[in-house]
Amino acid sequence: MKAVVVYESLWGNTAKIAQAIAEGLGAGTLALSTAQATPEALAGVDLIVAGAPVIAFNLTSDATRPSPQSLPSTAPKPDLSHPMMRTWLESLPAGSGRSAAFETRVRGPFGHSVKTISAALEAAGYATMAPPASFIVTGKYGILRDGEVDRAREWGAALARALP
């Protein structure tokens, strides 16, 4: 069984959660940025777990992806080295397998990215195998709330147990 965790992360919170989910899924599971998750890296994959931050109530888009120009000069610099999750999903080759989605966000009713991720994975042929998961940060740029990394590792382990 080949599982891959794919993430977009501007300030590192989603990357940390992705790494913990991969650990929970088991030895050999890689957490890959959207730049690293090439069609070659995904060849033969049975499970794609994909996650991204909630920015402006949804996945980032050309209109909402933060940049040093759009942020206050005091803001930590976003990592723009890898494509938006939205772009990665649009170019995901059709396949077959299972999927699950996760997001990082602040606490409150400020939108989701998991709905867009799940719908795109389904459309590409990866059936949703579990309800999506949200992991919470305590400030606009993070840090992750206490316990969220452990919860992510446990979520990954629960996904592994649910596989046939």
Ligand X SMILES: Cc1cc2nc3c(=O)[nH]c(=O)nc-3n(C[C@H](O)[C@H](O)[C@H](O)COP(=O)(O)O)c2cc1C
Of 32, 45, 53, 133, the one binding ligand X (CB under 6 A) is: 53
**Spatial contact of 112 and 58, defined as CB atoms under 8 Å apart:** yes
Give whichever of 1 and 141 is closer to ligand X, judged by the CB atom.
141
Helices (H) and strands (E) in the chain, counts: 4, 6
Q: What pairs with residue 6 in β-bridges?
A: 32, 50
- Shortest spacing between CB 154 and ligand X, in angstroms: 19
In the shown chain, the binding pattern of residues 112 to 151 toward ligand X, with x for contact by CB under 6 A and - for none, equals -------------------------x--xxx---------
Of 3, 5, 6, 9, the one binding ligand X (CB under 6 A) is: 9
Give whichever of 98 and 137 is closer to ligand X, judged by the CB atom.
137
Which whole-number Å values give the CA distances from 10 to 60, 65, 76, 161, in the listed order? 10, 9, 10, 30
Which whole-number Å values give the CA distances from 122 to 16, 60, 69, 106, 164, in the listed order? 25, 19, 35, 26, 19
**Positions that interact with ligand X (CB under 6 A):** 9-14, 53-57, 66, 104-106, 110-111, 137, 140-142
